[in-house]
Amino acid sequence: MAQFTLTLTFLSIFMAPIFMSAFVISQPPLNAAEQEYVYKVLESINSDISWRALFPDDLCSTAPHGVICDYFTDDTAAASDPGTPHVTELSFGYVSDYSPNPPCSSNSTLDPSVLAPLSHLKKLFFYKCFTETKTPFPDFSPLSSQTNYSPLEELVFIENPALIGSLDGKISNLTSLRRLVLTGCGVSGGVSNGLGELVNLEQLTLSRNKFNGEISMTIFQNMKKLKVLDLSENGFQGNIPESIGNSTELLKIDLSFNAFSGRIPEVLKGLTSLEFLDLSYNSFRNYGVPLLLGEMPSLREVYLSGNFLGGRIPEIWGNLKGIRGIGLSGVGLVGNIPKSMGVHLRNLCYLGLDNNRLEGVVPEEFGDLEFMSELNLANNSLSGRLPFSAGFLSILGGKLKLEGNLDICIDEGLKSAKVSSSLGELKVCRLTEISSTALFYENSGPRPHASLAFITIGLFVFLNFSKFYSEVEWRNW
């Protein structure tokens, strides 16, 4: 099977350009020096393949998949001038049959001084290229050493665990960078040095590395175009830099699984486009659920789980109608679940309030949240009747988690319908649980002695009530 896949990979690497070449036949060729440097890069990535023998011709006409050229004319050129070809993109590491880039060998290397002569290179992409032989993160400053300018706009390393060392100053000259993606690699150290120079960044993704330390307070000051910031799963510490308030175009912030601490900064509410905020599993402490969330109407998802925020769930939901996901698991919440969550959050698909100390009932309004697909209320002290219909329960199925709430009960009808296995543990509501003002008990099982007291205050009702009346009907009765 592996053999077969490999064959396919090679076929697609080598066949695709043959079809493409028919369309570019009238174009001038890549200059010899640039062609030579492309061979050198290909050889450093995988020396097992004889690149020069397989692709002896113009690499802008017949190249392996992953080598992309473009044609450049200067302002004075005639409209008929086809322009001069230059290599603009190099992508390495077999991704899929749709992106069958040159496969990397286990001893791939990358020397940016070989890339430097590729004067029009805009994108570099590496997928699973540095996986075994430990390779220090390359110093990209040669790319700008001759002209003081590097055209590189995208630098992407995905799943390269053997790529180690720090970023210190190695990319700060790449001032044209729009995307810096370094995910699933072994890069360590801080990000203070020079990253702030990258004022054209739209995406900064450094997730799943070994970065640590505090982030420079001014790092975002001039990153006004930043849209995506993902620093998740590293060892970053300290406060979120206030300068993040200057990156007003941010759509997504993911700082989850780090050791950020202190207060969640107020400046976040100036990020009026922000749709996704994940600060879960950090060390933000004891300031409660931040009220500023209520002033961020563009939010679609917010995850704060695994920080000890404490306090009650605030009433901040009126402006957050668009929100689809909320994670407040294990954040030390006390008190009731506000009805307002069910009233306003009409688009909610996911809500995690598990592993807190919430008490009281599950608001009736939750049963009307038509898009809800996962609701985790496990391990709280919730009580009373679960206000859900059989239809609602069958949509959620196992995605409704209620374990660890000793006093939640369900209606007799739901128990017998067995709509969800997770309800199996729950007891059937006794009539006293239908409403705190109703004085009832079910007729099966031992009657509580307290019922004698109820009788003496003059209310005598002995019906199999749960079977015939819902809570609403009873209240109207």
> How far lies 319's CA from each of 275, 296, 341, 344, 346, in Å?
13, 8, 11, 8, 11
Give 43 or 202: the residue with its C-beta nearer to ligand NAG: 43
Q: Considering beta carbons, is residue 105 or 389 the nearer one to ligand NAG?
A: 105
Nearest to 383 by CA among 314, 347, 342, 429: 429
Q: Which is nearer to ligand NAG, 24 or 292 (CB)?
A: 292
Residue 360 carries which side chain, given as an amino acid letter? G
Chain positions contacting ligand NAG, by CB under 6 A:
47-48, 105, 107, 141, 144-145, 148, 169, 172-173, 194, 221, 242-243, 245-246, 267, 354-355, 376, 378-379, 401, 403-404, 412, 464, 467
Please tell me the distance from the alpha carbon of residue 268 to that of residue 253, in angstroms, as a whole number.
Answer: 10
Closer to ligand NAG at the Cβ: 99 or 470? 470
Q: Which is nearer to ligand NAG, 60 or 353 (CB)?
A: 353
CA atoms within 13 A on the CB side of 293: 28
CB nearer ligand NAG, residue 205 or residue 379 = 379
State the nearest-atom distance from the C-beta of 247 to ligand NAG, in Å.
9
**Nearest CA-CA partner of 54 in 16, 93, 90:** 16
The number of angstroms, rounded, from the C-alpha of 345 to the middle of its chain's C-alpha atoms is 21
Shortest approach of ligand NAG to residue 289 CB, angstroms? 19
Q: Which of 205, 199, 213, 155 is nearest to 184 (CA)?
A: 205
Give 101 or 246: the residue with its C-beta nearer to ligand NAG. 246
Tokens 């998949």: give the residue. Answer: 65
Q: How far is the CB of 95 from ligand NAG (least distance, A)?
A: 21
User: What contacts 402, CB < 8 A, 6 or more positions away?
Assistant: 377, 378, 382, 386, 408, 422, 423, 425, 426
* Dist. CA 64–CA 261, nearest whole Å: 48
What element of type H or E holds 357? strand 357-360
Query: Is there a contact between 419 and 394 (Cβ–Cβ < 8 Å)?
Result: yes
As a whole number of angstroms, the distance between CA 111 and CA 136 comes to 11
Closer of 105 and 183 to ligand NAG (Cβ): 105
Longest dimension (CA), the chain: 104
Sign of CA dihedral 380, 385, 387, 390: positive
Q: Which is nearer to ligand NAG, 29 or 117 (CB)?
A: 117
Please name the helix (run of DSSP H) or strand (run of DSSP E) that holds residue 279, with its range, or none: none
